[in-house]
Chains A and B, each alone.
Chain A
Amino acid sequence: MNWMRPRYLAIAIALIPALALGACGGGGDNGGGEAQKFDPNKEVTITVWSGFTPGEREIGAFDSVIKDFEKLHPNVHVNSVAGINDDKIVAAIRAGNAPDVALSFSSDNTGAFCSSGAWIDLQPYIDRDQVDINEFPQAVRSYTEYNGTRCAMPLLADVYGLYYNNDLFKQDGLTEPPKTISQLDAYAKKLTQGSGDSLDVVGFDPTIGFYENAAAHYAPPWDAQWFDGDNAAFASDPAWADMLTWDKNLIDWYGYDSLTRWEAGAGEEFSASNAFETGKVAMIMDGEYRTAFIKDEHPELNYGTAPMPVPDDQQDRYGAGYITGSIMGIPKGSSNEAAAWELIKYMTTDTGALVKLANGLANVPTTAASAKSPDLTLGPEFEPFLDIFNSPNSETNPPKASGAAYQEIFESFASKWQAGRVDDLQAGLEAAANQADAQEQNASGGQAP
């Protein structure tokens, strides 16, 4: 038998997919329990992992607040490690070498972290130190806990609103941002320059998937609810169908292919060639952090900001927007829980620390006190985001055991709808909702239907 013959070699290579899931080690169960006592006289070193890009502006701001903490607690030394995403955090927890503190940019993963006990329950510490959770708005409280378990604290928020180009507005005699969807529609058409495959300026590109046009970011202005009880509400909440109908009508006005072609040349979102920053699009939905990018990359841009327009029959809800943010927690296995908590408490609740971070990162400070601080130096374009943050109608998306699966399933359907590949919108939404429910059931209970 010649083992080097192609057939045997081929069989051996055929077995390689088995390696795809190699080294999937087991996990453990919930940590947490009693709050450990912080000893101010004991020298400890704790490690913090964050997703900031090493060497960039943002990690500098983050580390300077860590330095302030070290001055306050000279016995605690903090080792800050940047460039860590959630995949690495999850892998480290499984391997038993997680950091003492983790900062995740994905509040969608709160459900997985809290429900599995991968991040410890912070309630014993919150109770012991009498931290007032109500200092955080409802939306922020919501994305830092899962089914009553608070395993994360919020570190600054991202708030989404409308950016508009003042110069392009002036050219068309527009003076104020649109407040209703019908106004947004009319403005978008008026501001568009060129047509067909030679779109020079797009008034507003509503395509879900373009830049920050995530379904989750659209949901609060439309008052579209993701879930009705435990079930996905894509089909049962008519706001989704209304939103998708408006979305498709405006896309069709440009022509789907024409708009897709324009998007391909719109420029990298997180670069100086961003289409809004270069004047290729008159209005976009984006987060408050864009103000810092514009200041850095295109300080000459004459622009304004406002809440996203709302449906014409819901004008009393104007001001609503999507809120999300970074989450901070203690992965299970931390050897210095008490010191880790002190750092988290300082960074997420101390007004001075939050204001300094907010100024450095151009993010919305998360507590009521810090949001009102006179020390915020974020400029007039930032003001509307603070208002959206404080709006009672602003919302976030619910954390789920399957992470962002329900949003991605919705967006996958929306992409086909936008392209004109769906005949029956309602039936399609129902099928997508069923898929999201099945996915969630599979991720949370393991008893898939």
Chain B
Amino acid sequence: MSTAVAGAIEAPATPTPERRRARRKAAWRRRRFVLLLMSPWLVGFTIFFGYPLIYSVYLSFTHYDLLSAPRWVGLANYRFLFGADQQVWPAVYNTLWMIVIAVPLQVLFAFSIAVMITRARLGVGFFRTVFYLPTMAPAVAATLGFVFLLNPATGPVNTILEALGIQGPLWFQSPSLSKPSLTLLGIWGVGNTMIIFLAALLDVPKHLYESAELDGAAWWQRMRWVTLPTISPVILFAVVIGVIEGLQYFTEGYVASTVAAGGAGGGAGDAANNLGYPQDSTLFYPLLLYQQGFRYFSMGYASAMAVMLLVVSLAVTVIILRRSDRFVHYAGAVR
């Protein structure tokens, strides 16, 4: 904008055609330079984002078994998705469960840890490291570790509980506890969110607390009227990212179900037959999508599922952002 303003000041009231041409040339040169700088991103965006997105939408209207050429079938895949496929709704339920229960718990836990660390007087660095460390563990390794720790027969957790005279639950082997077990795993690995919260908490201007204290605000009031409004954009960010990750929840569900199931099962005799173990309680929407596309050779249908996932992700994100205007406060933001 500043360029345009400067141009307006320098330009005579009626520019000659030569000057206009020169200005257009200069503008074009600037645009070309910007395009050149942006080109790596543009190429990457087109190849790795635009093309797969458009191709997935196209595939969702085809019968595509991964091996033959896709064949146009109109809305058949969508009719199957909303009509005949009985596995979709349990998968949607499982995914919603994670979003409604696990995501808020993770945000709350990350926030609480961050608050505690800001209040610690000793060993701040130590606690920060300890709570961040789980994030360093790859998702597969962390899930394997949890399945081992929570093994109902041989896991250390149940062994300790047994020593205390308590019979431990079945954890990943129980349909009612498999998702809570995955939630525990999620809560254990909130280091990233915790660090973001911690940075935001440390960024809250001290003078606001001092004024609140002078006004006699108690701890809870300072939290409610100073801390939360100031860090509300970060809370929003954590919630939105959490919801999107919840919609795409795959790795932990895949590993937990196949490892906890133990046996080979299924016709082909490989572990992936046990997706959703136990009793489809961990069959999340993205897992069903994978199963349909790569195991049942219904990639056209899997594409339709992916398109729906995209639509829902966008819709949920837009709704959360729209609603957020009421409680999110951007300090000094021009809106």
Given the complex of chains A and B, what is the CA–CA distance between A50 and B160 in angstroms? 44
Given the complex of chains A and B, what is the CA–CA distance between A439 and B291 in angstroms? 12
A257 smallest CB distance to B (angstroms): 7
Q: Which residues of A contact B202 (CB under 8 A)?
A: none
Given known pairs A6-B234, A6-B240, A212-B263, the reply for A17 and B306 (CB within 8 Å) is yes
Question: In the complex, are the beta carbons of A117 and B170 less than 8 A apart?
Answer: no
Question: In the complex, are the beta carbons of B69 and A28 less than 8 A apart?
Answer: yes
Number of A-B contacts (CB under 8 A): 281
Q: Which of A197, A208, A438, A442 has the most CB of B within 10 A?
A: A442
Task: Tell me which residues from 6 to 32 in chain B have a Cβ below 8 Å from any Cβ of chain A.
Answer: none
- Stretch of B79-87, B103-111, B220-228 on the interface side: B79-87
B203 smallest CB distance to A (angstroms): 14
Q: Which residues of B contact A216 (CB under 8 A)?
A: 266-267
Q: Which residues of B contact A21 (CB under 8 A)?
A: 52, 55-56, 59, 293, 299, 302-303, 306
| Interface residues of A, dominant DSSP | helix
Q: Which residues of A contact B236 (CB under 8 A)?
A: 6-7
- Stretch of B112-120, B126-134, B204-212, B270-278 on the interface side: B270-278
Question: In the complex, are the beta carbons of A214 and B77 less than 8 A apart?
Answer: no
Q: Which residues of A contact B174 (CB under 8 A)?
A: 260
**Is residue A173 contacting chain B, with contact meaning CB distance below 8 A?**
no
**Is residue A394 contacting chain B, with contact meaning CB distance below 8 A?**
no
**Is residue A229 contacting chain B, with contact meaning CB distance below 8 A?**
no
Question: In the complex, are the beta carbons of A116 and B67 less than 8 A apart?
Answer: yes
**Is residue A37 contacting chain B, with contact meaning CB distance below 8 A?**
no
**Is residue A142 contacting chain B, with contact meaning CB distance below 8 A?**
no
Question: In the complex, are the beta carbons of A416 and B264 less than 8 A apart?
Answer: no
Given the complex of chains A and B, what is the CA–CA distance between A448 and B82 in angstroms? 11
Given known pairs A19-B49, A112-B67, A118-B67, the reply for A11 and B317 (CB within 8 Å) is yes
B264 smallest CB distance to A (angstroms): 6
Question: In the complex, are the beta carbons of A209 and B261 less than 8 A apart?
Answer: yes
**Which residue from A85, A94, A214, A397 sits with its C-beta under 8 Å from B265?**
A214
**Is residue B164 contacting chain A, with contact meaning CB distance below 8 A?**
no
**Is residue A14 contacting chain B, with contact meaning CB distance below 8 A?**
yes
Smallest CB-CB separation from B238: which chain A residue? A6
**Which residue from A18, A113, A405 sits with its C-beta under 8 Å from B296?**
A405
Size of interface on B: residues with Cβ below 8 Å to A: 90
Given the complex of chains A and B, what is the CA–CA distance between A408 and B277 in angstroms? 11
**Is residue B33 contacting chain A, with contact meaning CB distance below 8 A?**
no
Given the complex of chains A and B, what is the CA–CA distance between A16 and B264 in angstroms? 33
Contact with B along A190-225 (1 / 0, CB 8 A): 000000010000000000111111111000000000
Chain A contact patch, size range: 35 or more
- Stretch of A102-110, A122-130, A235-243, A367-375 on the interface side: A102-110
**Which residue from A106, A260, A447, A448 sits with its C-beta under 8 Å from B268?**
A106
Contact with A along B302-335 (1 / 0, CB 8 A): 1100100110011011100100100000100100
Question: In the complex, are the beta carbons of A18 and B86 less than 8 A apart?
Answer: no
What are 17 contact pairs spanning A and B, CB under 8 A?
Answer: A2-B333, A10-B240, A14-B313, A17-B247, A20-B248, A21-B293, A22-B56, A90-B67, A260-B173, A260-B174, A408-B266, A408-B295, A411-B266, A439-B85, A442-B84, A446-B73, A449-B83
* B-binding residues in A (CB < 8 A): 2, 5-7, 9-11, 13-24, 26-29, 85, 87, 90, 93-94, 105-109, 112-113, 115-118, 197, 208-216, 257, 260-266, 268-269, 324, 397, 401-405, 407-409, 411-412, 415-416, 419, 421, 431, 434-435, 438-439, 442-443, 445-449
